[in-house]
A and B are shown apart, each in its own frame.
Chain A
Amino acid sequence: MRGIPTVLITVSPEVSVQMRPPRAIYPKDFRIGNSLGRPGMRDLQKRVLRDAILAVTGPARPGEVIEYSYPEYLA
């Protein structure tokens, strides 16, 4: 079977990093159950998903969890 590129959106970075995922983003301070934001925050949800997908074409940092900041989540 061929390999398939993956990117993980995690809100438990300290747990996820132990598995050394090939690509992972952590939306800073998002709580469990809110991987892409809160209900109805369509623009934020799209930014998170877009950032995750674009991370696949960015510089490779396999095994790391990259932190992203979305202040509107906390506002």
Chain B
Amino acid sequence: MTLLSRKCVPFTPLDRELSKCAVSLVTAAGVHRRDQEPFNIADELGDLTFRAIGGDAALADLMVTHHHYDHHDADEDLNVVFPLEILRELADEGLIGQVAREHVGYMGYSMQLKQMYEQTAPAIAEYVDKKAKADLVVLTGG
């Protein structure tokens, strides 16, 4: 039997056309800028922090720190988990309005689910709202 969350589904309708939306990526795949502090893979409980990544970042300036999935493919082409270049193409083609100014990476393995749910996730949502000014978020895992 599959156990489903008993919380309400937090469904938010899209209130504008896609072609007018700023879209932000939020990934659990452990993506961060090379000049940012890597996620702490030494802590068996996981890392509750997140990293902000500018919408104009070059993928070559980003990397993955995550020890709970095989990220060799992401190391070769980050678009497989963090499709920032693809998002730019979709903006150029007019499917979306623009690539949001900020995106987020965190390490989606945690034994501290309560803190992740009650602290990290709201902090990311706040960041995506206030700093990224995103109208729509695409979430990816590893």
Contacts and interface: CB of A to CB of B under 8 A. Distances in A.
B9 A46 contact: no
A7 B81 CA distance: 14
Contacts of A39: 73, 76-77, 79-80
B128 interface: yes
A57 B18 contact: yes
Interface residues of B, number: 46
A71 interface: no
B95 interface: yes
A63 B9 contact: yes
A interface: dominant SS: loop
A51 to B, nearest CB: 11
B135 interface: yes
B81 A6 contact: no
A3 B18 contact: no
A35 to B, nearest CB: 5
Contacts, number: 139
Given A6-B139, A22-B10, A46-B90, A53 B74 contact: no
Nearest to B117: A19
B83 interface: yes
A2 B129 contact: yes
A37 B80 contact: yes
Given A5-B137, A6-B139, A33-B70, A22 B11 contact: yes
Interface string A19-39: 111110000000011111111
B73 A18 contact: no
Interface of A: 1-12, 14, 16-23, 32-40, 42, 45-46, 48-50, 52-54, 56-57, 60, 62-63
Given A10-B141, A35-B80, A60-B11, 10 more contacts: A6-B12, A8-B140, A11-B141, A34-B81, A35-B142, A36-B81, A36-B83, A48-B83, A54-B18, A60-B13
